[in-house]
Amino acid sequence: MDENTLFIAYPKGIARAFFRAPLWLYRLGWGDLLRGTNLMVLTTRGRKSGLARHTVVEYARHGSKLYVISAWGLQPDWVQNVRAHPTVTVQIGSSARAATATLLSDPSEITRALLMFRKRSALHEYVLERLSATHDITPRVLKEISSHFTVVRFDLADVDTPPPLAGVTATHRVWGWAMVTGAVVSVLVLLAGALARQGKLST
């Protein structure tokens, strides 16, 4: 997709923090809990710094190939990084694998990848509609507009890659659990208060 034609706003501030929240779950050792969400940690090498950079992306898998759609075209740092350094590390659950990234240009392969995401849910179909600015998300139409999408394929391979996302130390893990528990309790208290107020208003 052309980065100058974005139909979904690039995340900033709180939205950016929300998208990066799963990184902390991985650091706390909860990566296996995210297996069912098809979220993985992608570790790239910074195109300027050469340092390991971590981000969370949603993937679709076909054999030893993983596909990721960039909702913001070439704009994300991870896309720029894989263009400069295609060897990466992917973490799914508690396992980490090396992979080689390829920015797709073949319309047929892009279409296959898009259809894998489309089949998942109505939400994925809606996102594809937003990204392509069309309401006719059929295989034929997707192939015709495949150039609107930025899709990256990751081939699992034995290559030298940047270090995977490391877990936090035992001491920090305890604090992390405490923070997560506190956040959950706070949400439950607020929810209970809201329900109580709603009950009073209805009586």
* Choice between 46 and 180, residue whose per-residue pLDDT is larger: 46
Tell me, what DSSP letter sits at residue 97? E
Cβ count within 10 A of residue 120: 12
pLDDT in tens, 85-106: 999 999 998 788 999 999 999 9
pLDDT tens column, 13-55: 676 666 777 787 787 777 777 777 889 999 999 999 999 999 9
Mean model confidence pLDDT for the chain: 80
- C-alpha span between 44 and 23 (Å, rounded): 14
By percentage, how much of the chain surpasses pLDDT 70?
73
What the block records as the tokens of 198 is 């709603």
Q: How confident is the model at residue 6 (pLDDT cuts 50, 70, 90)?
A: very low
- What is the rounded CA–CA span in Å between residue 52 and residue 180? 26
| The pair of three-digit structure tokens given for residue 68, joined into one six-digit string | 């990721």
| pLDDT in the model for residue 115 | 92
Residue from 76, 93, 82 nearest 30 by CA: 93
* pLDDT at 107 (0 to 100): 94
Using a cut of 0.75, tell me whether the model's pTM lies above it. no
**154 strand-pairing partners:** 66, 101
